[in-house]
Amino acid sequence: MAEQDFPGWHGTTILAVRRGGEVVMAGDGQVSLGQTVIKGSARKVRRLAPGGFEVVAGFAGSTADAFSLLERLESRLEASPGQLQRACVDLAKEWRTDKYLQKLEAMLIVTNGDELYVITGAGDVLDPEDDVAAIGSGGNFALAAARGLLETDWPAEDIARRAMMIAAEICVYTNGNLTVERISR
């Protein structure tokens, strides 16, 4: 499916930066309906703890669809505790093959502080090579900024915050009201 088939793609920016034994995930707070800002303080980055196994997840796209996916991810993590990659692959397989789930319009970034994955409805479970992942309408702006900032000696949180501010200055569907979660290995 083409990106234009997913109206929910245009509405958020999620960025994860892995550095120094931790991953920092940041998400903006803007919720847009067409050209109207409905809410400026939504929480699109959440901490999950199924069975005591802590994971941070961020989502872009339809909120209801993302919540459905997060619930399924939690159940996969409960079924295979401590195995984030397996849970992500199982979710991506089901998402791609289930007729109901195929219609969901969202993307996820998940991390346990060590592993970092982008999960898509096309069945992708992507582990970024350069310790940075981004999704959403401002994702490419935040990704480019974060990659450039990796050349500094800044900690992960400073890189994530500055890259998100750069994305918010460029993308009209992204604001500077951030939710930031940090998770260590």
- As annotated, the residues of the chain forming the CATH 3.60.20.10 domain(s) are 42-127
- Quick one: tokens of 148? 């450039």
Q: What CATH superfamily is the domain 42-127? A: Aminohydrolase, N-terminal nucleophile (Ntn) domain (3.60.20.10)
Contact 18, 131 (CB under 8 A): yes
- Quick one: tokens of 151? 């050349």
- Other beta carbons less than 10 A from residue 128's beta carbon: 17
- Quick one: tokens of 172? 């009209």
In the chain, the percentage of residues whose pLDDT exceeds 90 is 67
Q: What's the pTM?
A: 0.91
CA dihedral over 54, 60, 64, 66, signed as positive or negative? negative
Tell me which of 12, 13, 111, 174 is the catalytic residue: 12
117 contacts: CB under 8 Å, gap ≥ 6:
84, 85, 88, 109, 110, 111, 125, 126, 127, 133
In the predicted model, is pLDDT for residue 18 greater than 80?
Answer: yes
12 is catalytic: yes
Contact 99, 73 (CB under 8 A): no
Query: Residues 100-123: pLDDT tens digits?
Result: 777 788 899 999 999 999 998 888
